[in-house]
Structure 1
């Protein structure tokens, strides 16, 4: 799962504080509970060196309610001067964590990317549609989704009772108006899908109008379209419909992970373009060989099962090793120890690798990590067999 859209928002050459915490406020004592969690995190930051400066910037932000209902988490990244990112997480973390490091905690960003499904909701009737572009986690705290409406120019919309030629002419004009309006909506959906590249296009509303719109979509929009019954244009929030959308989004997340995990399993099984185990993953990252880092839920954290393991690094993100002496051969600078989870994440981001979380089948991951490789180092010039598209 690629997450450059998150990492590109953050500097890599400055000290940053990354906070992942339970932000749920569903009980009467919710505000107090969040304040107590933050108090623990503040002490943790203060213990990590110059954390007090970051705590001052963070405190006002993390104590501000998210306005999201139900259990949820929060990811906040700040420099000494300002809050750089504040996003919702679908579920509270198993444990709150605050990390002070050069650049962001990339594994935390990868979990947010795994949560996020960008989808375009089209609530359709026979006159047009209301369109809303969402992040599934509601995106940035305090942010609002992109909204617009599209209305067809054809207004002969209602069939009438009766018979004869006049009735048939009116009925034909009604059908023609529905189809023309559907084509107008479909053209707008095609445009937005091509411009904004949502993961899913969710179609709902009048059954006949939805079918006409779906039939008029271009190839790109049709490929990501899903019909979800129960929604309607200009209606209040419908809990049953929202639950159906959530099911569609979760099914998409599972498919997205599954494509990577199935490939990883197949390649590991034939000793192909995949490796597992910390030492082999470190070696592949050092060679900029990793296409997708595969990490177990426990290893990606918070708190990561890799947090107590130290890797050695040089001046650059890909100068990393299990052994200090090796860094002296790779780097002109001094070797320094870094938490393995932070080092792996930074190296993955530096080579534009994706990160996929393995919730199921993680037992196949030695040390909780594996990697799908871009090329096979055993072959001349790094050439591989042709891969299916």
Structure 2
């Protein structure tokens, strides 16, 4: 589920080897004095980072990023990572904060906030349609900026149906309806082409009710299957943005919830079969990650507040004790959830964040495996080895 673009961007710094300085902050501008608040936050961040051993150049580079207007409506957070005074990652993260503010300096950065804000790699379209055409914007889940935009203006002559009778009435009504169809047909073709090109997984449509109906008829079966309709005309002069924003947020939340639900169902089914293709104890998960055996890691970060794991500079990337490091350099101790997520990202595993109450067992963790663990060892408690966690 994890955003693959995000994973590719942070993988080089996750491997360690060069000191990094990072910060995750709520930068929402819905405050009485947003500029003054941003400046005070930036100053406080510099002081905190320097106190933690970060170079002043790193701290100032992060502060410069934090003070920049995010360009996205509140709530919004920002994640910034700097090495040797140069900004390596600076991401605007729309939506409510997923964790308390975090800062740090060391060989291994904490990217769990990025994982939380971008739980899946999903492209989606937001469409507003009228009888004269319309347009759409393309977004990626968890990214504030518009990826691309397209507007289409159709024919506007005789767009309004004629009231009253007369010999030409039926003909004119039919002509008007055909104009509407042509206009939304062009828009529908552009939407279908964009869905195919971007592998989009959601299309939210708002606008004039009749135009919405006509557009749905023009869309391909593939696009209709991912359609979410806003039951209001957001292009009307007195329309508010709230309905469209709310519908997009609800539709995205529904997709995330469904994919989490599906992953949990599969985890329970595999554990129930007992075929060795899933594990749900911390030690088993660490062992599987160290073998690049994990396909999907499911965890609740809050379940590991008091646990740490070793972050390694090479394969196997994570260990619960120095003897598990093999020949890899031990870069340091990390909070367990961050160390687990790091190892998952470095081995191309998906990361699914779920509540401990929804996960099987009482450990707040589980993993779907790429191949089964071996048979239980004599006298052991099950396959996979490792600390029972």
Do the two structures share a fold, i.e. TM-score over 0.5? Answer: yes
CA distance in 2, matches of 1:24, 1:266: 41
**Residues 1:122 and 2:127 are matched in the alignment:** yes
Q: Is the 8 A contact 1:90 1:115 kept in 2?
A: no
The aligned residue for residue 387 of structure 1 is: none
Q: Deviations over 1:351-372 (max 9, x none)?
A: 2111111036346364432212
CA distance in 1, matches of 2:41, 2:363: 30
The aligned residue for residue 263 of structure 1 is: 266
The aligned residue for residue 386 of structure 1 is: none
SS at match of 1:8: helix
Deviates more, 1:123-132 or 1:152-161: 152-161
Q: Is the 8 A contact 2:279 2:366 kept in 1?
A: yes
**Residues 1:325 and 2:327 are matched in the alignment:** no
SS at match of 1:371: strand
CA distance in 1, matches of 2:311, 2:79: 27
SS at match of 1:203: strand
CA distance in 2, matches of 1:63, 1:91: 19
The aligned residue for residue 63 of structure 2 is: 59
CA distance in 2, matches of 1:158, 1:228: 23
CA distance in 2, matches of 1:93, 1:243: 19
Q: Is the 8 A contact 1:130 1:233 kept in 2?
A: no
Q: CA deviation at 1:225?
A: 1.2
The aligned residue for residue 220 of structure 2 is: 218
Q: Is the 8 A contact 2:158 2:176 kept in 1?
A: yes
Question: Which of 337, 344, 355 lines up with 2:340 in the alignment?
Answer: 344
Q: CA deviation at 1:291?
A: 1.2
The aligned residue for residue 246 of structure 1 is: 249
Q: Deviations over 1:220-251 (max 9, x none)?
A: 32221111122433746432443333323322
Q: CA RMSD in A?
A: 3.0
Q: 1:7 to 1:295 in 2, by over 3 A?
A: same
Q: Deviations over 1:137-191 (max 9, x none)?
A: 5x25xx4553220233584433223446532222222222222222211110001
CA distance in 2, matches of 1:35, 1:277: 45
Q: Is the 8 A contact 2:4 2:121 kept in 1?
A: no
Q: Is the 8 A contact 2:131 2:180 kept in 1?
A: yes
Q: Deviations over 1:333-377 (max 9, x none)?
A: 444543133432222112211111103634636443221222213
Q: What are the ranges of 5 or more consecutive residues in structure 1 without an aligned counterpart?
A: 380-389
Q: Deviations over 1:248-268 (max 9, x none)?
A: 332232223222222223323
SS at match of 1:87: strand
SS at match of 1:65: coil
Q: CA deviation at 1:3?
A: 1.8
CA distance in 1, matches of 2:230, 2:90: 32
Q: Is the 8 A contact 2:126 2:205 kept in 1?
A: yes
Q: Deviations over 1:37-66 (max 9, x none)?
A: 555544443354444332121111112333
Q: Is the 8 A contact 1:183 1:213 kept in 2?
A: yes
The aligned residue for residue 91 of structure 2 is: 86
Q: 1:232 to 1:22 in 2, by over 3 A?
A: closer
The aligned residue for residue 20 of structure 2 is: 16
TM-score with structure 1 setting the length: 0.82
Q: Deviations over 1:191-210 (max 9, x none)?
A: 11111233310111111111
Q: Is the 8 A contact 2:137 2:146 kept in 1?
A: no
Q: 1:67 to 1:191 in 2, by over 3 A?
A: closer
CA distance in 1, matches of 2:208, 2:150: 18
Deviates more, 1:77-86 or 1:35-44: 35-44
Q: CA deviation at 1:114?
A: 2.5
Q: Is the 8 A contact 2:316 2:325 kept in 1?
A: no
Q: What are the ranges of 5 or more consecutive residues in structure 2 without an aligned counterpart?
A: 376-389
The aligned residue for residue 81 of structure 2 is: 77
**Residues 1:2 and 2:2 are matched in the alignment:** yes
Q: 1:92 to 1:34 in 2, by over 3 A?
A: farther
